[in-house]
Structure 1
Amino acid sequence: MGRLMNDHESDLIAQARDILKKKFGYDQFRSGQQQVIQEVLSGHDVFAMMPTGSGKSICYEVPGYLLEGIVLIISPLLSLMEDQVNQLREIGEKNVRALNGLMHPEERSRVLAHLRDIRFLFISPEMLRQHSVLTALSRVKLSLFVVDEAHCVSQWGHDFRPDYLYLAEIRSHLGNPACLAVTATADERVREDIVRSLDLRAVNYVLMSVDRRNIALAVHKVKSSEEKIEELCKLLSKVQLPGIVYCAGRDWTEKIADIIRQKLGLRTAFYHGGMEAVDRRKIQNQFLDGQLDLLCCTNAFGMGINKPDIRLVVHFHFPATMNAYLQEIGRASRDGKQGLAILYYAEQDEHYPLGFIDANFPDDTLLRQVLRELDQGLLKLEKKETFLTSLQDRGASETAARFIFENVRFVTRGMNYSSIFEECRKKITERRSVQLNELSMMKRYLNSTTCRRAFYLSVYNESQSEKLDLCCDQCGLSLEAFERACPQTSDVHPEQTLDWHQRLATIFRESERDI
């Protein structure tokens, strides 16, 4: 239940409804939106957990037209920023910009020189820490400090995006504007971590249910990857699409996409972090525009994706946390229609999340070696990227290299770098313990013999309000309800078997012929 409004707040909400109608074309707020906006307009720090597709962006966009100053939105991905900027421009908002590393320095300087003309500014945590950016922002008034996809503070901040851990310090430097942290999924530990990391004061919580009632759940245990592929192909030949298949590694996305194209003739592509940004963007747009039936991807895909008609989310390998799992299945059926989430589980898959956890941190030998070389002057900290590259050349993962950098950069003059060895080991032990506990919870879900929906709701201290007809495999779920009207035949058309490189090349050749 929300608190009662005073007359001033009632007037502000009336103005907010007017803006909602005139600017965005909606007659009324969705569940949770008004409560968040009420607290934001009252100048309070707010933590909002709202399910995917519930309109989280409205919660800071509407206040942006009522508050004086810039709404600063910290966003994790360039593609997500671009989408949000474009959506605001589509409603006629001209005073919106994004600051990112791909901008030409002169263009970035122009944006910083004209900040007073901007209403909404999207930025990454890394860009926000740059001295020129901070200096320019400190000279203007900020109306709201928004941390979008706030689970990244906890999920990434401790590991490979340490700039997230400096957001509280930056907000303080910018005059402590009210903060809105928004995410779709965060259990109690992650919520506490976010609130502590962002230094939210007298925070108001708006917590909506994580339950996506229109997504049915199933876990299929198999003995091998070959059996998985066989089961997956049977599934894809029958059920409604489009769909997403999540895999643990880049090679798997390419392999499965190729198999599905050849066996089923579905319009399929792969997507992972090893591709060039422009290529990832092309594939993403193809999927969003309905030119693909299926996307095989790593967890690099999905955050902020606005495609309401995804009917199927498959996990070919299971993620390391329940938070990640619910984030990923939540990309299905944002239009409210029925969706399906299938996870294929083989016991040997457990080495993937364990390997990712181990790769997050340097081992004792590497850590001791790096600290010793810093003491001896064989390694230098002057240039961050050079230092990180040097560590990766020694066998460290990108995440482990960043961990070392963030811990050695604050060693004061006169101290030995080797003196922080035990402190670093303690941090590693603590972080590994947290991640292993989260992995253990995920494995309990996979091996549960009771209702899967009831299980994951209990993780978030929720319970089922009523039993669903299409709930989960433990509740007698039949996949017949998800079959499409015209099952896919095995006829393979040449244009469908081309991978995305070949399709683009074909398009360009045709364009040249037209010229």
Structure 2
Amino acid sequence: MNNQTKLLKEKFGFSSFKLGQKETIDSLLSGKNTFTVLPTGTGKSLCYQLPSYMFDGQTVIVSPLISLMEDQVSQLRKMGEKSVVALNSTLDYPSKKYVLNNLSSFKFIFISPETLNQEEVFQCFSDLNITLFVIDEAHCISEWGHDFRPSYLQLKHNLNKLNNPLTLALTATATESVKKDIENELFSSRDFHTYFYSVNRENIYYQVEECEDKVDFLLSFLAEKNMPGIIYFSSKREAERLAATLNEHLPYSVAFYHGDVSSQDRVKIQQQFINDDIRILCATSAFGMGVNKENIRFVIHYHLPDSLENYVQESGRAGRDGKQSISIILYQKGDERIHYYLQDESFHQKKDLLFLKNKSKEELRKYHSLLSDNQKKWLISLEKNNWNWDSFEQKINSKQFEKRIKTQDMSFYVENKYCRRQSILNYFGNAYESIKQTCCCDNCQPKEMFEFDVEDVHLFEKKVINSEEIIKKLFLI
């Protein structure tokens, strides 16, 4: 038994590697920068956790969402790993100060790109012995970096200042254009290996439900299916409203989760959901990527996703245990209009910055108070990276067009009458597996034929949840 296999068994409790894990780990152990695309639910975190135990220094993981950081920290602590920490907005100032003063004592350090860009924080990272630098959910470089999180575009600059440590980029969803964005932003001047695998999730049945009343459909569907699931929303207000409605009508607990929920409550809700104390989560995209709850049987999109990338990421929360699960989009004609409106609003906010072109630094300071928070972020990034205003304008125009095309592709997906799985694989440039699936999508088999395994339907009574006990268990693992 080699060191890897022994560590896999003794530390992680697995007897064999999953798709793409060993190839990625071997690449890292040979000292090669690596870019890996694996389908949702195939254990991407193992690709950096296992080799980290074979390296001497710290592993830094850049992660996009608090929910994802908290989940991965919790998973590591359950394995007995104590030297793990997440640096994000949930830490109060004294806690943050303590962590920074003792940063070298941690083996795994999770951090958002925004926090990493803070001067005080980055200086502490400069003093570390970083033997592995991980960009988790690396598609955010392309998807979000050019939208509302420009800090992602500074990662290459940060890597250079950290003397280019061994780097791993991981994602589950990357079209050819997104792959090129990631390669250009992270590896343009460095050698790297790539391992790209199909996004296909054979155990997920894909369904689109055109319905006049989405609430009626949900109440009918959920009344008979008392098992864990997520309902995704584009609106925080709608997520709250539907959670309240479902709690009135269903015999088990439903909660809502979005970016305006307090940090402490988000941790509680996430742990309650993972522990099956909450049966259904009404969530925005603030909850999703990479969160490891194996027995989610269904993911429903109340609002149309704005792209197939986001849809595959979010629907991929279902069936991580390999058992039969379902992904449903509730659709009404015109649902895509909200995304066109939001895209136009974001585009015009960036476009409005162009009036600052050729202004002096003194003039820029004068206008600073008139800018929105997102505009201030963009202006800071422009100044830090010495971006050219003409290339900035070209970039926002091309991204605006690209986003509109992505939403049109999503509309085509819900309206087309061909195999939905084939549509997803075609979009990501994956070859379609010729094995005929007995449970594929509503265009291949009648949706009435879809059934969950009976043993997976566990009936739970609604119970009062002691949130303080949840927090104690979480942090005393």
Q: TM-score range by the shorter chain?
A: 0.7 to 0.9
From the superposition, tell whether residues 48 and 426 of structure 1 become closer, same or farther in structure 2 (CA, over 3 Å).
same
- 8 A Cα contact 2:356 2:364, kept in partner: no
1: distance between equivalents of 2:300 and 2:90?
Answer: 33
Code of the residue aligned with 2:138 in structure 1: it is: A
Q: Secondary structure at the match of 2:243?
A: helix
Q: Which moved more, 1:249-258 or 1:73-82?
A: 73-82
Post-superposition Cα deviations, 1:89-116, rounded to whole Å, max 9, x if no partner, equal 3333333333334435554444444444
Post-superposition Cα deviations, 1:224-279, rounded to whole Å, max 9, x if no partner, equal 4xx22222222222345221111111121122222223334442222222222222
Query: Out of 40, 48, 55, which is 1:52 matched to?
Result: 40
Task: Give the structure 1 partner of residue 106 of structure 2.
Answer: 118
Code of the residue aligned with 2:44 in structure 1: it is: K
> 1:46-445 maps to which residues of 2 (within 5 A)?
46-105=34-93, 107-199=95-187, 201-222=190-211, 224=212, 227-239=213-225, 241-363=227-349, 366-367=352-353, 377=363, 379-380=365-366, 387=368, 390-392=370-372, 398-407=373-382, 420=389, 424-445=392-413
Task: Give the structure 2 partner of residue 477 of structure 1.
Answer: 446
From the superposition, tell whether residues 149 and 468 of structure 1 become closer, same or farther in structure 2 (CA, over 3 Å).
same
2: distance between equivalents of 1:175 and 1:47?
Answer: 19
| Superposition deviation, residue 485 in structure 1 | 6.0
Post-superposition Cα deviations, 1:202-238, rounded to whole Å, max 9, x if no partner, equal 321112221110010111223x4xx222222222223
2: distance between equivalents of 1:481 and 1:366?
Answer: 50
2: distance between equivalents of 1:430 and 1:439?
Answer: 15
2: distance between equivalents of 1:380 and 1:79?
Answer: 37
Code of the residue aligned with 1:262 in structure 2: it is: E
| Superposition deviation, residue 480 in structure 1 | 5.0
- 8 A Cα contact 2:268 2:467, kept in partner: no
From the superposition, tell whether residues 378 and 466 of structure 1 become closer, same or farther in structure 2 (CA, over 3 Å).
closer
1: distance between equivalents of 2:151 and 2:117?
Answer: 7
| Superposition deviation, residue 163 in structure 1 | 1.0
Q: Secondary structure at the match of 2:437?
A: coil
Code of the residue aligned with 2:198 in structure 1: it is: S
2: distance between equivalents of 1:250 and 1:243?
Answer: 18
| Superposition deviation, residue 333 in structure 1 | 1.1
- 8 A Cα contact 1:239 1:483, kept in partner: no
Post-superposition Cα deviations, 1:373-428, rounded to whole Å, max 9, x if no partner, equal 987748448xxxxx4x7423xxxxx445533443356679xxxxxx94x6544332
| Superposition deviation, residue 363 in structure 1 | 4.8
From the superposition, tell whether residues 134 and 342 of structure 1 become closer, same or farther in structure 2 (CA, over 3 Å).
same
Select the structure with the greater relative contact order (CA < 8 A; seq sep ≥ 6). Answer: 2
Task: Give the structure 2 partner of residue 454 of structure 1.
Answer: 422
| Superposition deviation, residue 165 in structure 1 | 0.8
Which structure 2 residue ranges, 5 or more long, are not aligned?
Answer: 470-477
Which structure 1 residue ranges, 5 or more long, are not aligned?
Answer: 1-12, 382-386, 393-397, 413-418, 508-515
Q: Secondary structure at the match of 2:347?
A: coil
2: distance between equivalents of 1:373 and 1:299?
Answer: 37
| Superposition deviation, residue 39 in structure 1 | 0.2
| Superposition deviation, residue 180 in structure 1 | 0.5
Q: Secondary structure at the match of 1:473?
A: coil
Task: Give the structure 1 partner of residue 473 of structure 2.
Answer: none
Q: Secondary structure at the match of 1:360?
A: helix
| Superposition deviation, residue 52 in structure 1 | 2.3
Q: Secondary structure at the match of 1:84?
A: helix
Q: Secondary structure at the match of 1:349?
A: coil
Q: Secondary structure at the match of 2:2?
A: helix
- 8 A Cα contact 1:151 1:190, kept in partner: yes
Length-normalised TM-score, structure 1: 0.81
Code of the residue aligned with 1:341 in structure 2: it is: S
From the superposition, tell whether residues 210 and 429 of structure 1 become closer, same or farther in structure 2 (CA, over 3 Å).
same
| Superposition deviation, residue 131 in structure 1 | 2.4
Code of the residue aligned with 1:212 in structure 2: it is: R
| Superposition deviation, residue 302 in structure 1 | 1.4
Length-normalised TM-score, structure 2: 0.88
1: distance between equivalents of 2:129 and 2:433?
Answer: 45
Q: Secondary structure at the match of 1:262?
A: helix
Q: Matched residue pairs, number? A: 463
From the superposition, tell whether residues 31 and 119 of structure 1 become closer, same or farther in structure 2 (CA, over 3 Å).
same
Q: Secondary structure at the match of 2:336?
A: helix
2: distance between equivalents of 1:168 and 1:378?
Answer: 26
Code of the residue aligned with 1:171 in structure 2: it is: L
- 8 A Cα contact 1:260 1:266, kept in partner: no
2: distance between equivalents of 1:288 and 1:390?
Answer: 43
Code of the residue aligned with 2:195 in structure 1: it is: V
Q: Structure 1 vs Structure 2: percent identity of aligned residues?
A: 37
2: distance between equivalents of 1:469 and 1:305?
Answer: 28
- 8 A Cα contact 2:227 2:296, kept in partner: yes
| Superposition deviation, residue 481 in structure 1 | 3.6
1: distance between equivalents of 2:364 and 2:169?
Answer: 42
| Superposition deviation, residue 327 in structure 1 | 0.4
From the superposition, tell whether residues 51 and 240 of structure 1 become closer, same or farther in structure 2 (CA, over 3 Å).
farther
Q: Which moved more, 1:367-376 or 1:242-251?
A: 367-376
| Superposition deviation, residue 429 in structure 1 | 1.0
2: distance between equivalents of 1:437 and 1:19?
Answer: 45
| Superposition deviation, residue 345 in structure 1 | 1.4
| Superposition deviation, residue 283 in structure 1 | 2.1
- 8 A Cα contact 2:151 2:381, kept in partner: no
Q: Secondary structure at the match of 1:436?
A: helix
2: distance between equivalents of 1:345 and 1:146?
Answer: 37
